[in-house]
């Protein structure tokens, strides 16, 4: 049973928008690519997790805090026999691990050692359980989900699940009976209640409203080459379709995400979308989907 669903992080959503509306540096683009790749891997993992049977709790994307230190767990499985902490990685290509180094063989680029990250996370989680006066068996694994990933120089005692072992990993879990009790339910609720909604490690670059491109872009391929035909936005690049209302609402949501301090007004959204539509059209969509506050030129929507 999934108690906490997985969703795209605020950081990923912001980076996705900024990648379309401004020019990112190479390092920022690399970070954005890793966020997209990571989320893609996590969703693939979730699809495989659907095969789990018996009574088990699944909690996704937990951000926890202990002693002013934050740590994140991609997936937490609570079963009768104990707790599994799972860190999902979607690396692609040939990699090597040597002592504390983890790097791509082709480029030589180094990444944070996933085993060291896992060990630190596991230690912090066990400390959290002690603080809660709870006693559960805890085991943790790094799951390499991408079938195009190969790891060299690995050791048999490393807490890793390689791509060709993932299906067997889930079969082994399913082969272990699991019945949950009130204690497991209490544990799950406590963990979810401790979830931190803001990620302190977010690396969204600085941006300003004046420097972002204002225009409606395609929801499917992010191209600004969209044309309005018969009350529908049509992408000239991928031929994706989107109604006027859906496009305006999507842009309102993006505007709120990037500029939560700015009010949703007809003028603001009209300027943000920058398309050949009248303000009356924007006013109609906003009145239909939001609550207007005030009745003067200073009115806004919530």
pLDDT for 294 = 83
Bridge-based pairing of strands 138-144 and 82-89 is parallel
Give helix then strand counts, H and E, for the chain: 8, 15
Q: Take residue 27 and report the two structure tokens written for it.
A: 């390092």
pTM over 0.85: yes
Task: Measure Cα distances from 162 to 49, 89, 170 in Å.
Answer: 16, 10, 12
Q: What integer pLDDT is reported at residue 141 of this predicted model?
A: 98
Which among 113, 95, 115 is positioned nearest to 159, based on CA atoms?
115
Residue 72's DSSP bridge partners are 63
The segments of the chain whose pLDDT lies below 50 read none
Quick check: helix, strand or coil at residue 167? helix
Residue with tokens 């005692």: 157
Query: Which pLDDT belongs to residue 100?
Result: 85
Query: Cβ of 62: how many Cβ atoms within 10 Å?
Result: 19
pLDDT at site 95: 98
CB 224 within 8 A of CB 214: no
Please tell me the predicted confidence (pLDDT) of residue 183: 95
DSSP letter for 219, please.
T
d(CA 270, CA 221) in angstroms, rounded, equals 22
pLDDT, residue 80, reads 95
> Which of 84, 60, 80 is closest to 185 using CA atoms?
80
- What residue ranges in 182-287 does DSSP mark as E strands? 226-229, 232-235, 241-243
pLDDT score recorded for residue 299: 87
Name every residue whose Cβ is closer than 8 Å to that of residue 42 and which is 6 or more positions away in sequence: 6, 60, 74, 75, 88, 90
Say what the pLDDT of residue 199 is: 86
pLDDT at 174: 93
Secondary element (H or E) of residue 189: helix 182-193
Between the CA of residue 142 and those of 111, 189, 282, what are the distances in Å? 14, 24, 48
C-beta of residue 72 within 8 angstroms of C-beta of residue 66:
no
Helix (H) or strand (E) holding 14: helix 10-21
């Amino acid at each position: 049973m999934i108690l906490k669903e997985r969703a795209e992080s605020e950081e990923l959503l912001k980076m996705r928008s900024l990648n379309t509306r401004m020019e990112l540096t190479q390092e920022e683009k690399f970070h954005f690519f890793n966020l997209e790749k990571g989320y893609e891997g996590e969703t693939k993992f979730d699809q495989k997790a659907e095969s789990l049977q018996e009574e088990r709790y699944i909690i996704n994307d937990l951000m926890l805090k202990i002693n002013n230190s934050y740590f994140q767990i991609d997936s937490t499985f609570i079963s009768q026999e104990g707790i599994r902490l799972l860190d999902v990685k979607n690396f692609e290509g040939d990699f090597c691990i040597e002592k504390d180094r983890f790097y791509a063989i082709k480029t030589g680029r180094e990444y944070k050692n996933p085993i060291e990250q896992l060990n630190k996370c596991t230690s912090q989680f066990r400390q959290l359980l002690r603080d809660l006066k709870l006693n559960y068996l805890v085991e943790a694994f790094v799951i390499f989900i991408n079938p195009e990933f190969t790891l060299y120089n690995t050791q048999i005692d490393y807490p890793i699940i390689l791509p060709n072992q993932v299906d067997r990993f889930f079969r082994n879990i399913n082969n272990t009976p699991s019945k949950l009790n009130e204690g497991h339910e209490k544990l799950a609720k406590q963990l979810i209640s401790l979830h931190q909604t803001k990620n302190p490690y977010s690396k969204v670059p600085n941006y300003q409203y004046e420097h972002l491109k204002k225009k409606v872009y395609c929801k499917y391929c992010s191209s600004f080459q969209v044309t309005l035909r018969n009350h529908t936005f049509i992408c000239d690049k991928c031929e994706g379709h989107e109604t006027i209302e859906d496009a305006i609402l999507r842009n309102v949501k993006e505007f709120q995400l990037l500029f939560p301090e700015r009010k949703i007004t007809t003028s603001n959204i009209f300027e943000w979308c920058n398309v050949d539509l009248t303000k009356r059209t924007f006013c109609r969509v906003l009145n239909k989907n939001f609550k207007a506050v005030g009745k003067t030129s200073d009115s806004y929507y919530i």
